[in-house]
């Protein structure tokens, strides 16, 4: 458990050039706090769904991040700036994903079964992007800021716009495009 908390701090330090120390991240990064609260809520959810939602609501009031307790969030996920992020009940977020503030992984109706996106590993989703419905975002994909994504995104592709379209089919080399928000 402590190892996981430590891993979260390392992840933020590695991905945010403005982060300086583990103590700074632990005290002041709302995206990290939101993930910690989500782990507690996610553990509580199967047996104590109401208590899980109360934990999530308290975390939401403090951090501005609204994650349903049932959502599945991978390891080394980083939510930068955090305010306005909404992750729905049946969403899945893979390992090593970076989400910026204002990202929505939302639903599109009362359809039975999965209603929210499945996001692969190492995906980067820019600020304000809205992904809706039971779509799949492939590993290493990138989603531009303020995009509206209503269809599957191929692995490694970069999509932008509203509705989002593919503007690049393979990930760019180097680190220059690692941040979209």
Compute the distance between CA of residue 95 and CA of residue 12 in angstroms, rounded to an integer: 14
54 forms part of the interface with a second copy (CB under 8 A):
yes
Least separation in angstroms between residue 65's CB and a second copy is: 8
Closest CA to 100 of 129, 126, 130: 126
Q: Which residues pair with 23 in a beta bridge?
A: none
Compute the distance between CA of residue 38 and CA of residue 166 in angstroms, rounded to an integer: 32
- Binding a second copy (rule: CB under 8 A), the pick from 44, 97, 107, 119 is 107
- Binding a second copy (rule: CB under 8 A), the pick from 93, 127, 143, 157 is 127
Among 2-10, 18-26, 134-142, 151-159, the segment contacting a second copy (CB under 8 A): 18-26
- Binding a second copy (rule: CB under 8 A), the pick from 42, 144, 153, 159 is 144
- Binding a second copy (rule: CB under 8 A), the pick from 6, 7, 49, 72 is 49
Which segments of the chain are extended strands (E)? 66-67, 72-73, 78-80, 86-87, 92-93, 98-100, 104-106, 118-119, 124-125, 130-132, 136-137, 142-143, 148-149, 158-160, 165-168
Interface positions with a second copy (CB under 8 A): 17-18, 20-21, 23-24, 27-30, 49-50, 53-54, 56-57, 60-64, 66, 68, 81-84, 86, 88-89, 100-102, 104, 106-111, 115, 126-128, 130, 132, 144-148, 160-163, 175-181
């Amino acid at each position: 458990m402590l190892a996981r908390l430590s891993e979260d701090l390392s992840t933020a330090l590695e991905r945010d050039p403005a982060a300086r120390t583990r103590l700074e991240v632990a005290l002041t990064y709302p995206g990290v706090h939101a993930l910690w609260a989500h782990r507690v809520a996610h553990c509580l959810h199967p047996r104590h769904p109401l208590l899980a939602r109360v934990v999530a609501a308290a975390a939401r009031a403090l951090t501005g991040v609204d994650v349903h307790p049932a959502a599945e969030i991978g390891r080394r996920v980083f939510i930068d700036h955090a305010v306005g992020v909404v992750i729905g009940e049946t969403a899945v977020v893979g390992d090593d994903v970076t989400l910026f503030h204002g990202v929505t992984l939302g639903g599109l109706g009362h359809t039975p079964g999965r209603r929210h996106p499945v996001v692969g590993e190492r995906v980067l989703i820019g600020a304000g992007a809205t992904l809706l419905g039971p779509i799949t975002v492939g590993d290493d994909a990138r989603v531009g800021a303020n995009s509206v994504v209503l269809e599957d995104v191929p692995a490694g592709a970069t999509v932008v716009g509203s509705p989002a379209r593919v503007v690049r089919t393979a990930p760019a080399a180097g680190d220059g495009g690692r941040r979209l928000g």
